[in-house]
């Protein structure tokens, strides 16, 4: 639940702190006083869309901070823990800073947080019902999602959607392959020519560099022979070789060492040099002895390098030629095995159609079970909201079709060898029908209900959802629009009943609803120093009576309206 909301430099609000109660919180005030600004600020801190236009004129940023108690709602601490945010004493602090440049920053318990995470938390905390949201119920496309929410079918829908998505993916792959078959067959001849051309040369990774090294050795064979012979003779083979002279020097140093120990290190170093000279000489001799001259090999290398150069010129590099050869192998193999691949995909589609059918049938069965309970619950709630003798029906339909429809890319569900059109949420199309007068056949909602009735139907649905303990808070922004005072009291009582399960925050102009508040917040707009400012105050009992009386009669408050206000408030205290 929301404990406190701090708003600074937001729209017409300079700075405001509002404390909320745990049950029914009612916000009242004159038209244009700024009631909806408070709700806008709350939705902003919960991650909903906002903009720099909401910053109070002349200020650099707006700040909205909400303090929430999340005790008894383990899904939120779990979400925080998954994202490495700490939660202390079941309290959550969300802050949103809206900057004049147009961007915003979010914080969770004073730590920076991504907007996406804050929005997830907001969805888990609050269900918002705006003054125009009742129009959603008049759109039959929303009915299936509403029924699934009412029945708690989200997990079953998710299982279906995973399989449905897989089916769509395989169907797309199948038709893409058919299209590619035609394209590939058209260029198959040229691709085979290119493939054979590369295969005829059969380039190997690193081959060109290796051949160029070998060519350099063969072309410089005489020089290598003469040079290595000279190195060997100079270092080791001649009568006065470097090695022999070093041995003489070493012997002199050994004799000098016996006289003066300072020569000991030099004698050792000379020994090491002699070893190195011997190793160099042996390497030169060995290299020289293995030199061979094959004129025909020279010609082979030159011809091979010309062939490789030709491929490089055509494909950009030998590496690209090798990569393209592998790609051609795959494509040509695909052409050769198209029939097998198409049959494999057809088999996958058939299996997935049956799997989708199993999930879809389970969903349909559950929806039929739930619809009976939903019909009865909504009829009972509508009766308490002033629409007696109503008949509410959930119509569930699906579309059988021919298997050949698959050829037009349609996802189908196979249930006991019967095929049905499959959609994102199952095979069902769901419509809400209603009759608000006894003896009349139920008809589609959009054809028979008024705005006020739509609000009450939506409130009925919200009541069922709220009692399932899914959301800590419900926010209603003037959903009493278009209904009479008598019905308003019934709507207010329904909200008060909901407040036994969840915290309710509601904006209203109706005194019958305001009188039922557990916490009553009055919003006012005032002018000071040529600036308009919105303020809010939690009313005590005496102030509540005057505010409800004002809603009853306007600014002129009489003893009679005060008495009526007390009587209305007394209804909520019973």
Residue 574 has pLDDT above 80, yes or no: no
Residue 481 has pLDDT above 70, yes or no: no
Q: Are residues 34 and 61 in the same domain?
A: yes
Cα 506 to Cα 492: distance, rounded to the nearest angstrom = 10
Residue 133 has pLDDT above 80, yes or no: no
Cα 61 to Cα 13: distance, rounded to the nearest angstrom = 12
- Of residues 102 and 352, the one with the higher pLDDT is 352
Q: Are residues 40 and 114 in the same domain?
A: yes
Q: Taking the mean position of all CA atoms in its chain, how far away is CA 202?
A: 47
Q: Are residues 524 and 563 in the same domain?
A: no
Cα 10 to Cα 98: distance, rounded to the nearest angstrom = 9
Q: Are residues 8 and 53 in the same domain?
A: yes
Work out the pLDDT band at 557, boundaries 50, 70, 90.
confident
Tokens 């009349």, residue located? 440
How buried is residue 182: exposed, middle or buried, by Cβ count under 10 Å (0-12/13-18/19+)? exposed
Q: Are residues 471 and 531 in the same domain?
A: yes
Domain residue limits at 557: 540-574
For residue 145, is it within any domain?
no
Q: Are residues 2 and 91 in the same domain?
A: yes
Tokens of 76: 């939120």
For residue 454, is it within any domain?
no
Cα 324 to Cα 47: distance, rounded to the nearest angstrom = 50
Q: What is the chain's length?
A: 574
Residue 517 has pLDDT above 80, yes or no: yes
pLDDT at 482: 65
Q: Are residues 303 and 225 in the same domain?
A: yes
For residue 159, is it within any domain?
no
Closest Cα partner for 4 from 544, 519, 463? 519
Average pLDDT over residues 319-348: 84
Q: What is the mean pLDDT of the chain?
A: 87
Work out the pLDDT band at 141, boundaries 50, 70, 90.
confident
Angle between helices 559-573 and 541-553 (to 10 degrees): 120
Work out the pLDDT band at 241, boundaries 50, 70, 90.
very high
For residue 49, is it within any domain?
yes
Domain end position, chosen among 284, 315, 334: 334
Choice among 12-26, 335-349, 437-451 with the minimum mean pLDDT:
437-451
Q: Are residues 535 and 568 in the same domain?
A: no
pLDDT at 341: 83
Model pLDDT for residues 52-63, shown as the tens digit of each residue: 999 998 899 999
Tokens of 100: 């004049």
Q: Are residues 502 and 552 in the same domain?
A: no
Average pLDDT over residues 200-223: 86
Pair 361, 418: CB distance under 8 Å: no
Run of H or E including 524:
strand 519-528
Work out the pLDDT band at 381, boundaries 50, 70, 90.
confident
Pair 465, 150: CB distance under 8 Å: yes
Cα 74 to Cα 69: distance, rounded to the nearest angstrom = 11
Work out the pLDDT band at 254, boundaries 50, 70, 90.
very high
Residue 366 has pLDDT above 70, yes or no: yes
Angle between helices 485-498 and 338-384 (to 10 degrees): 120
In the chain, how long is the greatest CA-to-CA distance? 139
Pair 485, 457: CB distance under 8 Å: no
CATH number at 520 reads: 3.40.50.300
Cα 430 to Cα 442: distance, rounded to the nearest angstrom = 14
Average pLDDT over residues 318-334: 85
Model pLDDT for residues 409-432, shown as the tens digit of each residue: 889 999 999 999 999 999 999 999
Question: Which DSSP symbol is given to 140?
Answer: G
Run of H or E including 502:
none
Domain end position, chosen among 270, 300, 334: 334
Residue 176 has pLDDT above 70, yes or no: yes
Strand intervals (E) in 70-212: 91-99, 104-108, 111-113, 126-129
Name, in order, each residue with C-beta under 8 angstroms of 341's C-beta and a sequence gap of 6 or more.
177, 334
For residue 140, is it within any domain?
no
Choice among 82-96, 117-131, 219-233, 376-390 with the minimum mean pLDDT:
117-131
Q: Are residues 48 and 102 in the same domain?
A: yes
Residue 127 has pLDDT above 60, yes or no: yes
Q: What percentage of the chain carries pLDDT values higher than 90?
A: 41
pTM over 0.75: no
pLDDT at 187: 73
Phi and psi (nearest 5°) for 128?
-100, 130
For residue 46, is it within any domain?
yes
Work out the pLDDT band at 500, boundaries 50, 70, 90.
confident
Pair 513, 492: CB distance under 8 Å: yes
How buried is residue 171: exposed, middle or buried, by Cβ count under 10 Å (0-12/13-18/19+)? buried
Q: Are residues 474 and 558 in the same domain?
A: no
Cα 434 to Cα 105: distance, rounded to the nearest angstrom = 46
For residue 374, is it within any domain?
no
For residue 257, is it within any domain?
yes
Q: Are residues 94 and 127 in the same domain?
A: yes
How many domains does the structure of the chain reveal?
3
Domain end position, chosen among 305, 334, 363: 334
Pair 23, 500: CB distance under 8 Å: yes
Work out the pLDDT band at 102, boundaries 50, 70, 90.
confident
Choice among 247-251, 307-311, 395-399, 480-484 with the minimum mean pLDDT:
480-484
């Amino acid at each position: 639940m929301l404990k406190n909301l701090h708003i600074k430099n937001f729209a017409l609000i300079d700075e405001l702190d509002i404390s909320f109660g745990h049950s029914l919180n009612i916000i009242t005030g004159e038209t244009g006083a700024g009631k909806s600004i408070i709700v806008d600020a709350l939705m902003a801190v919960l991650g909903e869309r906002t903009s720099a236009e909401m910053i109070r004129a002349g200020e650099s940023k707006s700040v909205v901070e909400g303090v929430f108690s999340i005790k008894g709602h383990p899904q939120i601490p779990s979400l925080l823990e998954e994202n490495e945010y700490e939660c202390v004493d079941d309290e959550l602090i969300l802050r949103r800073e809206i900057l004049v440049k147009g961007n915003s920053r979010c914080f969770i318990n004073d730590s920076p947080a991504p907007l996406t995470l804050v929005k997830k938390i907001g969805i888990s905390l609050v269900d918002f019902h705006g003054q125009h949201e009742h129009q959603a119920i008049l759109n039959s496309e929303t009915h299936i999602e509403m029924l699934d929410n009412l029945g708690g079918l989200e997990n079953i829908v998710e299982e279906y959607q995973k399989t449905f998505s897989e089916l769509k993916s395989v169907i797309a792959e199948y038709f893409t392959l058919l299209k590619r078959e035609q394209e590939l067959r058209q260029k198959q001849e040229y691709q085979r020519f290119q493939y054979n051309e590369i295969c005829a040369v059969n380039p190997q990774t690193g081959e060109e560099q290796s051949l160029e090294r070998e060519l350099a050795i063969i072309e410089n064979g005489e020089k290598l022979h003469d040079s290595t012979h000279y190195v060997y003779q100079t270092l080791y083979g001649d009568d006065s070789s470097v090695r022999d002279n070093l041995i003489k020097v070493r012997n002199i140093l050994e004799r000098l060492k016996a006289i003066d120990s300072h020569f000991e290190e030099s004698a050792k170093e000379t020994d090491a040099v002699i070893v190195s000279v011997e190793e160099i000489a042996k390497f030169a001799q060995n290299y020289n002895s293995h030199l061979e001259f094959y004129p025909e090999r020279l010609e082979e290398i030159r011809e091979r390098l010309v062939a490789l150069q030709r491929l490089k010129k055509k494909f950009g590099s030998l590496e690209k030629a090798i990569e393209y050869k592998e790609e051609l192998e795959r494509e040509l193999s695909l052409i050769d095995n198209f029939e097998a691949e198409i049959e494999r995909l057809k088999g996958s589609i058939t299996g997935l159609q049956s799997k989708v059918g199993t999930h879809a049938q389970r969903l349909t069965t559950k929806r039929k079970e739930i619809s009976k309970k939903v019909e009865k619950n909504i009829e009972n709630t509508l009766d308490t909201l002033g629409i007696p003798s109503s008949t509410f029906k959930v119509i569930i339909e699906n579309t059988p079709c021919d298997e050949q429809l698959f050829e037009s890319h349609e996802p189908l569900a196979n249930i006991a060898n019967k095929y049905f059109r499959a959609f994102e949420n199952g095979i069902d199309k769901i419509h809400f029908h209603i009759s608000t007068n006894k003896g009349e056949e139920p008809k589609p909602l959009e054809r028979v209900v008024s705005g006020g009735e739509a609000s009450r139907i939506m409130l009925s649905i919200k009541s069922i959802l709220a009692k399932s303990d899914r959301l800590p808070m419900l926010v209603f922004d003037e959903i009493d629009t278009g209904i009479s005072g008598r019905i308003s009291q019934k709507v207010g009582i329904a909200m008060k009943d909901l407040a036994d399960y969840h915290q309710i925050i509601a904006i209203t102009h109706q005194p019958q609803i305001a009188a039922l508040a557990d916490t009553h917040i009055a919003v006012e707009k005032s002018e000071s120093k040529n600036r308009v400012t919105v303020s809010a105050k939690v009313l005590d009992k005496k102030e509540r009576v005057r505010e409800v009386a004002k809603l009853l009669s306007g600014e002129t408050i009489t003893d009679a309206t005060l008495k009526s206000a007390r009587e209305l408030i007394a209804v909520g205290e019973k």
